[in-house]
Amino acid sequence: MASSKEQLLQALNTDLGEELAAITQYMWHHVMAKGMESPAIMEEFRSASMDEMKHAEKLAERIDYLGGTPTTKPSQIMMGGDLRKMVQDNLAAENAAIERYRSHIKLAIEADDPATRLMLEEILTDEEDHAHTWETILAR
């Protein structure tokens, strides 16, 4: 059985792969968005991509600090569709991230790693903000 530190490193690399995918997904949605409502939403896509880049950098730095090797492989990227589908795909990804980060915060607590816990809590706050943005846009 893997140690709590090894489990935490695996979890952080999972998070990093998801963030790498989110960067690309948001960036391409920003480029591909079309329609009357797209300018404001395109800016939200661009901004979210930059947030996800900051998350990826923090995760990679933490993995390195803990003695692991940061992944370079993104997870699955959802591409294309109309503007509504893009927002729905992004909301689904954010909701999955929220659940994943909550779980990984528990791992950080079990590993007695308050610095990683705090970092994950800060990222979780951003992901909740993104989810709220997409929920608000979809409610229009």
What residue spans define the domains of the chain? 4-139
**Which CATH code fits 4-139?**
1.20.1260.10
- Count CB neighbours of 114 within 10 A: 10
Q: In this structure, what DSSP letter does residue 67 have?
A: T
Predicted confidence at residue 134, as pLDDT, reads 96
Low-confidence residues in the chain, pLDDT < 50:
none
- C-alpha distances (whole Å) from 47 to each of 2, 29, 112, 140 are 37, 11, 33, 20
Predicted confidence at residue 81, as pLDDT, reads 86
